[in-house]
Amino acid sequence: MADTTGGVATNQPRKSSWKYIGPGIVVAATGVGAGDLVATLIAGSNFGYTLLWAAVIGCVVKISLAEAAGRWHLSTGRTLFDGWASLGRWTTWFFVVYVVIWGYVYGAAAMSSSGLPLQALFPDVMDLKWWAILTGLVGLVFVWFNKYAVFEKVMTVLVGVMFLVTVYLAVRVTPHLGDAFAGLLPVLPDEKDSVLNTLGLIGGVGGTITLAAYGYWVNAKGWTDSGWMKVMRLDNRVAYITTGIFVVAMLFVGAEILHSANVAIASGDQGLVQLSDILEKEYGDATAKLFLIGFFATSFTSLIGVWHGVSLMFADFVERYRKQRAGADDKALTGEEVASGAREKSVPFRAYLLWLTFPPMILLFQGQPFRLIIIYGVLGAAFMPFLALTLVWLLNSSRTPREWRNGWLSNGMLAIAGLLFLVLCIKQITDQDWGSFF
């Protein structure tokens, strides 16, 4: 029998169980893209194991953010966008500008990243841009015709591939465990910009709009009330422990193969192709091909994860706008609506899917416009402090039932996350070539 807490219907608490795990795997797979793996590899190649502690802290920060997003959805029965809208119209404007510009540029980047390993595996078949277009179309068709349950199963299989490949590589390079354990001590490298490099590693791995999408995947799983809170928290911890294993494994590879040999790789996704060449020379063709398969799984999970999760968020935004225009008395957007699966078949969901897929193909042929890339970089840097600080606002207010408001630990972690991402946002803005922009 259901009771009520703060006016929101809740069921009896479910016992946390491994059989429920799902949304966490999805958010972990989506959040860790090829660019994150390259950043970790470069950290390993530049500093060895020195920044291992920073990678671990980064995962803890993401646990706090995703837990807060999931807690909002389950404790209030409302979606995160509905919470943002209650803070003022400025949040809506920020979200709209963000998803339009970010989605346009990200679509091209995700398709290119997914196409790169396929081109490396099958070099004589077709050019990179055609591989990129193919992956985008496959992602579109897959998300268009499948609901969350199938999406989660496919993501879980691809995460399994990522996990096996990264752990195999970490073992294959024979890490120096003594040095690795020493890397858990919080020490900064004695180099220029070491603080910002360290903050970048903490903030960069697995941290995107997909952290905000976590609550939507929680609802899509069928978890819609506070009775699922323990389950969600277990699910979330599993997600970022998995992320931590990915990150540590790639840092091991960077420290052992690149740092010890003083080898540099490119900062973009092309760096992973370079790594496959190095692996082929060191460990043979089979290891190199296995790595490229893991590279594809990493990139493609990010692609279909964004195609699904951000499209759900966009559909939520459009639904609230529609209710507002219709003068509806109750404009609240609920988790029950997401759980029904109707949003995944809605026109706004599919319209954003098309936006992520087809307009970005222009960038694959023409290159990425300079001014657009600058705006994209600034918006991307601004989203994480926006997410952290709005969650602090929402989860300390009367919008959240008292039982589920932030405690001192949650407030501390979210405040640290907000400040961290704010520093990185300012750094990103100041690093842009604004002189050329104007």
Question: CA 332 → CA 59, 81, 340, distances in Å?
Answer: 32, 10, 16
What would the pLDDT profile of 237-268 be if each residue is shown by its tens digit? 988 888 888 888 888 988 888 887 777 777 66
What would the pLDDT profile of 271-286 be if each residue is shown by its tens digit? 888 889 999 998 999 9
User: Mean pLDDT over residues 344-370, rounded?
Assistant: 90
CB burial string 55-76: b at 16+ within 10 A, e below: bbbbbebbbbbbbbbbbbbbbb
Helix 210-220 crosses helix 370-395 at what angle (to 10 degrees)?
A: 60
CB burial string 355-391: b at 16+ within 10 A, e below: bbbeebbebbeeebeeeebbbbbbbbbbbbbbbbbbb
User: Mean pLDDT over residues 291-316, rounded?
Assistant: 95
Q: Which two tokens stand for residue 97?
A: 């500008």
pLDDT of residue 6: 39
Question: 240, 56 in Cβ contact below 8 A?
Answer: no
pLDDT of residue 300: 96
pLDDT of residue 283: 92
User: Mean pLDDT over residues 374-391, rounded?
Assistant: 85
Per-residue pLDDT band for 1 (boundaries 50, 70, 90) equals very low
pLDDT of residue 137: 98
Share of the chain above pLDDT 90, in %: 54
Q: Which residue has the tokens 């070099």?
A: 123
User: Which strand (E) or helix (H) includes residue 4?
Assistant: strand 3-5
Cα–Cα dist 160/256, whole Å: 24
332: which strand partners?
none
Type of residue at 136: G
pLDDT of residue 60: 85
Per-residue pLDDT band for 290 (boundaries 50, 70, 90) equals very high
Cα–Cα dist 424/427, whole Å: 5
Question: Is residue 195's pLDDT more than 80?
Answer: no
Q: In this predicted structure, which of 16-25, 107-116, 355-364, 374-383 has the lowest mean pLDDT? A: 374-383
Per-residue pLDDT band for 8 (boundaries 50, 70, 90) equals very low
Cα–Cα dist 245/248, whole Å: 5
Task: Determine the 3-state secondary structure of 10 from DSSP.
Answer: strand
Question: Is residue 63's pLDDT more than 70?
Answer: yes
HSE of 410 in the Cβ direction (CA atoms, 13 Å)?
20
User: Mean pLDDT over residues 21-43, rounded?
Assistant: 85
pLDDT of residue 196: 67
Phi, psi (rounded to 5 degrees) for 191 = -140, 165
Mean of all residue pLDDT scores within the chain = 87
Q: Identify the CA nearest to 248 among candidates 198, 341, 184.
A: 184
Per-residue pLDDT band for 369 (boundaries 50, 70, 90) equals low
Per-residue pLDDT band for 327 (boundaries 50, 70, 90) equals confident
User: Mean pLDDT over residues 344-348, rounded?
Assistant: 95
Question: 169, 253 in Cβ contact below 8 A?
Answer: yes
Residue 287, judged by CB atoms within 10 A of its CB (0-12, 13-18, 19+), counts as middle
CA–chain centroid gap for 85, Å, is 22
What would the pLDDT profile of 111-170 be if each residue is shown by its tens digit? 999 999 999 999 989 999 999 999 999 999 999 999 999 999 999 999 999 989 999 999
pLDDT of residue 323: 87
